[in-house]
Structure 1
Amino acid sequence: MLPDEPDLPIRRVLPQVRAALDGHGSALLVAPPGTGKTTLVPLDLAGHGRVLVAEPRRLATRAAARRMAALVGERVGERVGYAVRGERRTGPLTRVEVVTTGLLVRRMQHDPALDGVDTVILDECHERHLDSDLALAFCVDVRANLRPDLRLLATSATADTARLGALLGPTVTADDALHPVEVIWAPPPKVDPPHGLRVDPRLLDHVAATTRRAFRERDGDILVFLPGAGEINRVAERLRDLPVHPLLGRQDAAEQDAVLRSSAARRVVLATAVAESSLTVPGVRVVVDAGLARVPRTDYARGLGALVTVPVSKAAAEQRAGRAGREAPGTVYRCWSQAAQDRLPARPEPEIAAADLTGFALDLAMWGAPGGQGLALPDPPPAGPMTVATETLRALGAVDDAGRVTERGRRIAGVGTHPRLARALLDGAAVVGADRAAEVVALLDQESLSDDLVAGWRRVRGDSSFQQGVRRLRADLGSVRASRGPRLTDDLAAGLVVGLAYPERLARARGAGATAYLMSGGTAAELAPGSALAGAEWLAVASADRPPGRASARVRAAVIIDEATAREAGAALLTTEEEVAWSGGDVVARRVERLGAVPLVERPLSTPSPALVAAALLDGLRREGLGLLRWGRGAVALRERLAFCRQALGEPWPDVSDAALLDNAATWLGPDLAAARRRADLARIDVTGALRRLLPWQIAGRLEQVAPERVEGPGERRLRVDYSDPEAPVVALKVQEAFGWRDTPTVAGGRVPVLLHLLSPAGRPVAVTRDLASFWRTGYPQVRAELRGRYPRHAWPADPTG
């Protein structure tokens, strides 16, 4: 089937490709854009048998098939055909069929052996989409276990192919076919970096101005790369006087075909990343690159997933620039500086590293390899996100506890969209009607959504490309009879479907007229300033993200609902629990009905569990401190004596610091807490008795020996010991009371001398000593001289030890 024209570099390596497949059965072809790998290789390999080509995008799938059919002088559907979701153009003579990688994965789930197919070509594997990784792993598995005769060729536009080469074997490399492309650096004035889906309008102004400049300075059509549909629309508004044509993956097929046909009139094509590879926009001699890409990101901790805007990678920037050199020498205007180019990442991050893996996990379960075990994936799925994905599937009823797919999971997978949306379509159709359910799910599957989702739904209902997606979903759904759909308004119908898809995002307002909400998954959320949804008590949130550095998520799209709809959509999250907690400075006991983290109904609980009350009291102590207990003189003194024992002798004497007492409160306060019911009961606890529970039995009887309350003084007097400083126990007495005392008394079994505070007859300090004998010899004579004159009526013997 290989035509004589065109003469592209890939022709020179076709013999090597055939030899690699004949000898090894699988191979990798590295060929830059424009070499002919997408079109000439399949036509050449069709001489060996039927070829199935997988492309990562619908647009590229249809374009590749049209191009190959034109090369062999036929219409699509004869020897060259294609299939995308909802559309297939093939016939009995078809030798080359081009499909999307997603469709290939679903086809292999039903027919793993790919009966009738001799060669599978996985095009543009360097893009590392999830479907591409799955298709590669499934094909390798099939070759190893079912079809060793099935030939497998993966193609890549970049040379960074170590992982792919390790899986596939021989690597064949083709020369670069691009014409020279001049690079013009056109950085904008100062603009803010992209944030989430937001792109600084000043950058869009600059892209539009650069496009005008290119239109003046260069000939030929201009291809402008922008991150998404929203930016394409806004730049198109700024270029209304130029012949602007958008090119997007979700565009109507007829509109796409028109852009991909040659045109005598000069054009400005505004495109997303769909135009980076796999297809040629004819007539393009100039590329204007905004330098941004839109990629999926998932906040697994909060259950939030969204597309975000990031700087393009160096590899992607090179491919974009190459669009200007496919047919003749060209020019690329890069809307960033050469210094910024050096800071770009070398290549795009594989989708498996950051995307929501729920659909990926379902495909693995369908294949019989939960978690990817035993499959030759280019990169293993990250453990945490994979666990979250599996838990989500389990909650949807799509997999069992062992991770095996269920019949419901097969039904969900058959819908051909994200498992959450498939669940919403299947379950929502029975309530709101199949047509409305399909429309809402088609809306949720779009890249950008309106703040007020229902208003956005009404705007796009008549759009042909939107209805095309609705028809595909409706066909996947089959025949479903609505049980009560006609009685629901559009708002409640949309809200129910959204809630079925994202039950953890059902949100209730925090206060009347507020813009702050609590979602059932436990994440706080806020409406954007000026939102039309402000003041609603309940929302079903379709899209939310959490900006860096902010605790609350930002609601990007939602529907106003009522509590009944929230209860119906989130039925699996409804719980009724007895809650006993420390709140507002005391124990609060109540029976609470919740929707996930959102409280619905609270009623007082008259007979709460004593164990729960004790736990609440312990929580109160930890929050407010030991001051909730009444510390009498005896309790304070005992704690100080215990602290001294711990300081002097260490374990097993207990630690009675605040932190330790709070940590072990359940041990030493346990029996008392069992009888307590409220804050006031804490003040009635015998703290002295409770503290004694901390003493192990083997040392409990030694407390008086180690830390006696009093020590014996002269004349059989007993003097109280102050242990308030655990490092220095103190005995305070008047100098005359120490007469006859030769040595300093000790505690801790003689290890620690007390610190004597010697006082005047009036009780004023005159000396502090731990060595009484030395004080009598050296310090007392001076003290005696001073005090004899001041207190002549008191005896001041020259020898106080006699």
Structure 2
Amino acid sequence: MLSDVTLDLPVRPALPALVAALRTAGAGVLVAPPGTGKTTLAPLAVADEVTGRVLVAQPRRIAARAAAHRMAALLGERVGERVGYAVRGERRVGPRTRIEVVTTGLLVRRLHHDPELGDVGAVLLDECHERHLDADLALAFAVEARSALRPDLWLLAMSATPQADRFAALLGGDGPPAPVVRASSALHPVTRVWAPPPRPVAAPAGGPVDAGLLRHVADTVRRALRECDGDVLVFLPGAREIAVVAARLADLRAEVAVLPLHGRQRGAEQDAVLRPADRRRVVLATAVAESSLTVPGVRVVVDAGLSRVPRVDLARGLGALVTVPVSRAAATQRAGRAGREAPGSVYRCWTPAVHERLPAQPEPEIATADLTGFALDLAAWGAPDGTGLALPDPPPAASMTVARETLRAIGAVDVDGRITDRGRAVAAAGAHPRLARALLDGADRIGADRAAEVVALLAEDGVTGPGDDLAAAWRRLRAGTDAAATARWRAEVRRLRAAMPRDRPPPTGATGGGTPADGGRSGGGPAGSPGRLTDELAAGLLVGLAYPERLARVRRSGGSAYLMSGGTAAELAPGSGLAGADWLAVAVADRTPGAPAARIRLAAPVDEATAREAGASLLREVREVTWSGADVVAREVVLLGAVGLVERPLRPAPGEVAAALLEGLRRTGPGLLTWTPAARGLRERLAFCRRALGDGWPDVDDAALVDAAPVWLGPELATARRRADLARVDVAAALRRLLPWPAAARLDELAPERITVPSGSRVRLDYADPAAPVLAVKLQETFGWRDAPRIADGRVPVLLHLLSPAGRPVAVTADLASFWQGGYRQVRAELRGRYPRHPWPEDPTDAVPTRHTTARRR
């Protein structure tokens, strides 16, 4: 076949070495930069050497179709003759087809169906460096199939980056690495132009791209058109940004053609962009144009520097496409598109300093994406955890755990992770396992045709159009108001319908299309009863079956804030027509990091009956006797996940109340009790004894009291019914339960509540500081004491606060003898003139103590 092609592309000189390597080793790696012709010439060269069909796997549908058209054109044929292709929902091959270009996802499904690939002589995995999930699986499965079943099968990995060693090792299996063949670059010189925005723009954080950056991209396109010749290829992260920039360039349409290029378009629209044109063009493209595609006529690239990648929030079960800075490797590939046919230029909308901080390589999808479908493919292959497979990177453990739990919940795998019969039916649908589950289970309820329509709506990216109302989008597609979207949707509906088991019983009451005018159920029955569901309820039922954790109930009647059954708060966009619906089945939601709630992007209104039916696995009745934050709450609750449906009061058992009150103590602390002065004083004395005498005395800090509450509060907890009962507890009496008998007998001796002073007064000790108990007493009442008293078996001196006749401290001491010899003289000199009627003896140790403020007369 290669001999039929006269085109001399740079990869051609390397093809004899490549064929020789494949003959010798049966596997190899071809490293060739973009534009060298590896995607088109390598399959032709391999087809000349094998007897079976050559399968060429591409990561994207648009690339698969484009590669097939390019090879067919080189052979002077139409697609479907010696070169054909197969993508989801479309296949063009014939009896003479030798080369079939497929998507990596389709290759994975074929390997599941026929691991031997009996009619295939070679498998070529193109752009394997992009590290999509399906590409990783296709590589791993093909390597094992070749090793175990088809040692004669040729296996070739093709990459545009020089990181070939890891793929060579994987292809080599247990033997030596597969040979690596390198082709020289075909790129013409590309001049780099750094074109950052004149003013700083917000970095992407999961939300919309800064409007200022999109304005700047449009301005940079105008600049490139003025400064350079040829067509301009503009890289933007997604279809929405393409539409915004296209609108800003609308005034140029008389001079140039402004064309979009992205995965949501119809094949014919994509093909038109990939054909030469007779006028100058500006092609606004997503990452689909980074590799495998050649947009003819391009001499200039304008790169916004952003890429859109999948991310999953494992804790909340939310998946989203987020916008991130492009990697340096991807930026190089993008720039190379300007130098395929002639010298060109690349305008990068960032600075050299920013460029140096970009990641070197794009993050592999396995590290960040939802792995539910990936895990099902592994289970279907017979390797639930991927052990022993030639995966470039192992899947993250946390993501795989969540994926397997999801598969078990829908019955697709057993407790050991092995695929079940139901799991095989789910896998056969060729959709995400959640959507496949909704398709299979929803068909019995709303009919196979309507179920396929809803699932196609959710599975086929970009067909829903504007707005967040799923049922409205469904009606638009049935009406055909957007021809391109409708065509893609109907193709997916046909594919899903064909994938469904033929022996399913007809659903009750399902009759096909149409919508009741009243917007409710015809027949008025609840979900599950005979009667046809409206579009809203049918769509909501399918969404709920797929994503039961996203069934959401409005928080406040008529509002736009919701609580999803998975426990995540969610909000509708301002002005949404869905606001006020009591229940929503949320199909698409995402949450910006740091945001308090997820944003609902696509949903259908449902009623409680439908929510209960769709989320039946989340329904549970819970007997709750808990601490609510203010008191004990005793109730029976019917829950749909985190959403409460019904609440009934119940009479709790005493033990349940005690447990709730203990929880209240743990959350609130001992302050939940009423601490009288006597109780506080006793606690302080106990704390002093523990500090002074050791662990034989109970610990009475907050944490210890809470931990020991079943001991010292046990009788009160056994009879309490609410918080108020705890507030009436005699805490002082309860605390004494902490004391063992010997300690209880000596408490008043070791830590006396009061001390008798020389005047005869019994003065209370203050134990607030357990290191230094304080005795505040008037100085005249201590006459006759030579030393301060000691407590705790004489281990701790009491700290005396000696007061003036007016009750104010004049001295603080634990060494009374030293005070009498020194400090007292100064105090006497200062105060006896102020208080002449109070005794101020020269020797207070021999004086008569008194608590009276004036001399008494007989």
Provide TM-score, normalisation by structure 1: 0.93
Alignment partner, residue 397 of structure 2:
383
Q: Which residue of 1 aligns with 2:448?
A: 434
Residue 58 of structure 1 corresponds to which residue in structure 2?
A: 61
- Residue in structure 2 matching 1:181, options 182, 190, 194: 190
Asked whether the 8 Å contact 1:520–1:595 carries over to 2, the reply is: yes
Q: Which residue of 1 aligns with 2:159?
A: 156
Q: What's the offset of the Cα at 1:315?
A: 1.6
| Shift in alpha-carbon separation, 1:482–1:793, aligned structure 2, 3 A | closer
Q: Is the 8 A contact 2:673 2:729 kept in 1?
A: yes
Q: Distance in 1 between the 2:409 and 2:73 partners?
A: 49
The residue that corresponds to 1:203 in the other structure is 213
CA deviation string 1:240-296 (max 9, x = no partner): 424233322232222223332333344333322212111222333333333221111
Q: CA deviation at 1:681?
A: 0.3
Match of residue 477, structure 1, among 484, 500, 505: 500
Structure 1 residue 650 displacement after superposition: 4.4
Alignment pair present for 1:589 and 2:640? no
State the alpha-carbon separation in 2 of the partners of residues 582 and 704 from structure 1.
38
State the shift of 1:60 in Å. 1.4
Compared CA separation, residues 244 and 466, structure 1 to 2 (3 A): farther
Letter in 2 for 1:457: W
Picking from 533, 542, 549, the partner of 2:578 is 533
Q: What is the deviation of 1:414?
A: 0.8
Match of residue 145 from structure 1: 148
Partner of residue 112 from structure 1, selected from 89, 110, 115: 115
Query: Which of the numbers 440, 449, 454 marks the counterpart of 2:471?
Result: 454
Aligned partner (choices 622, 634, 650) of residue 577 of structure 1 = 622
Is residue 325 from structure 1 mapped to residue 339 from structure 2 by the alignment? yes
Task: Tell me the CA shift for residue 697 of structure 1.
Answer: 6.7
Q: 1:367 to 1:701 in 2, by over 3 A?
A: farther
- 1:188 is paired with a residue whose SS is coil
Distance in 2 (alpha carbons) for counterparts of 1:18 and 1:614: 79
The code of the aligned residue for 2:23 comes to D
- TM-superposed CA distance for 1:702, in Å, is 5.0
**Equivalent of residue 603 in structure 2, options 558, 562, 582:** 558
1-side partners of 2:739 and 2:104: how far apart? 71
Tell me if structure 2 keeps the 8 A contact 1:742–1:801.
no
TM superposition shift of 1:109: 1.3
The 5 A counterparts of 1:352-371 are 352-371=366-385
Partner of 1:517: 562
What is the deviation of 1:592?
1.1
| Deviation, structure 1 residue 161 | 3.3
Instruction: Answer whether contact 1:39 1:67 (CA < 8 A) is retained.
Output: yes
Cα pair 2:140 2:390 within 8 Å, conserved:
yes
Q: Any idea what SS the aligned residue of 1:530 has?
A: coil
CA distance in 2, matches of 1:436, 1:528: 28
Q: In terms of mean alpha carbon deviation, does 128-137 or 750-759 score higher?
A: 750-759
| Correspondences of 1:488-503 after superposition (within 5 Å) | 488-503=533-548
Work out the CA distance in 1 between the residues paired with 2:433 and 2:25: 37
Q: Which residue of 2 aligns with 1:465?
A: 488
Give the secondary structure class of the aligned counterpart of 1:559.
strand
Task: State the one-letter code of the partner of 1:475.
Answer: A
Partner residue, 1:745: 789
Aligned to 1:131: 134
Pick aligned residue for 1:425 from 418, 436, 439: 439
Measured after TM superposition, the shift of residue 439 of structure 1 is 2.1
Distance 1:782 1:315 in 2: 86
Query: In the alignment, is the contact (CA less than 8 A) between 1:508 and 1:519 conserved in 2?
Result: yes
Q: Tell me which residue corresponds to 2:18.
A: 17
Matching residue's letter, 1:748: A
Q: Matched residues in 2 for 1:30 and 1:702: separation?
A: 89
What is aligned with 1:192?
A: 202
Contact 2:206 2:593 in 1 (8 A): no
Which residue pairs with 1:408 in the alignment?
A: 422
What's the offset of the Cα at 1:43?
1.5
CA contact under 8 A between 1:788 and 1:796: conserved in structure 2?
A: no
Provide the residue aligned with 1:657 in structure 2: 701
- Measure how far apart 1:478 and its partner are: 4.5
Structure 1 residues 659, 524: CA separation in 2 closer, same or farther (over 3 Å shift)?
same
- Structure 1 alignment gaps of length 5 or more: none
Cα offset, 1:74, TM superposition: 3.5
1:34 matches 2:59? no
Contact 1:184–1:334 (8 Å) recurs in 2: yes
After superposition, the C-alpha distances for 1:103-127 in whole angstroms (9 at most, x for unaligned) are 1111111222222323221110110
Cα distance change on mapping 1:415 and 1:740 into 2, 3 Å: same
Distance 1:793 1:243 in 2: 110
Cα distance in structure 2, aligned partners of 1:447 and 1:34: 29
**Letter of the 1:133 counterpart:** D
| Residue equivalent to 2:768 | 724
User: Structure 1: how far apart are the matches of 2:783 and 2:247?
Assistant: 103
Q: Deviations over 1:583-614 (max 9, x none)?
A: 36222211111111111111111x11333322
- In 2, the alpha carbon distance for the partners of 1:781 and 1:265 equals 112
The equivalent residue for 2:99 is 96
1:506 and 2:551 matched: yes
Which deviates the most, 440-449 or 212-221?
Answer: 212-221
Q: Corresponding residue for 1:285?
A: 299
Matched-pair contact (CA < 8 Å) for 1:485–1:493: no
1:755-774 correspondence to structure 2 within 5 Å:
755-759=799-803, 765-774=809-818
What is the CA–CA distance in structure 2 between the aligned matches of 1:689 and 1:143, rounded to whole Å? 81
2:631·2:722 contact (CA, 8 Å) conserved in 1? yes
CA distance 1:670–1:366, change in 2 (3 Å): farther
Q: Which residue of 2 aligns with 1:230?
A: 240
Q: Is the 8 A contact 1:788 1:794 kept in 2?
A: no
Match of 2:230 in 1: 220
* Segment drifting more, 304-313 vs 317-326: 317-326
Matches within 5 A, 1:326-345: 326-345=340-359
Q: Aligned partner of 1:196: which letter? A: G
Q: Secondary structure at 1:39's aligned position in 2?
A: helix
Map of 1:2 onto structure 2 = 2
Residues in 1 aligned to 2:639 and 2:446: alpha-carbon distance in whole angstroms: 25
Give the alignment partner of residue 314 of structure 2, picking from 290, 293, 300.
300
For 2:174, the equivalent position in structure 1 comes to none
- CA drift of 1:162 comes to 4.1
Kindly provide the CA deviation profile for residues 511-562 of structure 1, in whole angstroms up to 9, marking residues without a partner as x: 1221211111111111212222222221111111112321211112222221
Offset of 1:56 from its aligned partner?
A: 0.7
Map 1:544-555 onto structure 2 (within 5 A). Answer: 544-555=589-600
517-526 or 620-629, which deviates more: 620-629
Distance verdict in 2 for CA 1:716–1:198, change over 3 Å: closer
Residue 436 of structure 1 aligns to a residue in which SS? helix
Q: Cα distance 1:278–1:748, how it changes in 2: closer, same or farther (>3 A)?
A: same
The answer as to whether partners of 1:197 and 1:307 remain within 8 angstroms in 2 is: no
SS in 2 for 1:294: strand
CA shift for structure 1 position 454: 2.2
Alignment match, 2:524: none
Counterparts of 1:441 and 1:401, CA distance in 2: 27
Q: CA deviation at 1:235?
A: 3.0
Contact 2:205-2:593 within 8 A present in 1 as well: no
Q: Structure 2 vs 1, CA of residues 687 and 159 (structure 1 numbering), >3 Å: closer, same or farther?
A: same
Of 635-644 and 716-725, more deviation after overlay is shown by 716-725
CA distance in 2, matches of 1:118, 1:263: 37
- Cα deviation digits, residues 136-159 of structure 1 (max 9, x gap): 111222233333333221111011
Higher mean C-alpha deviation, range 458-467 or range 443-452 = 443-452
Identity of aligned residues (%): 69
Q: What is the TM-score with the length of structure 2 in the denominator?
A: 0.87
Match of 2:90 among 83, 87, 92: 87
- The code of the aligned residue for 1:458 comes to R
Does the 8 Å contact 2:67/2:292 carry over to 1? yes
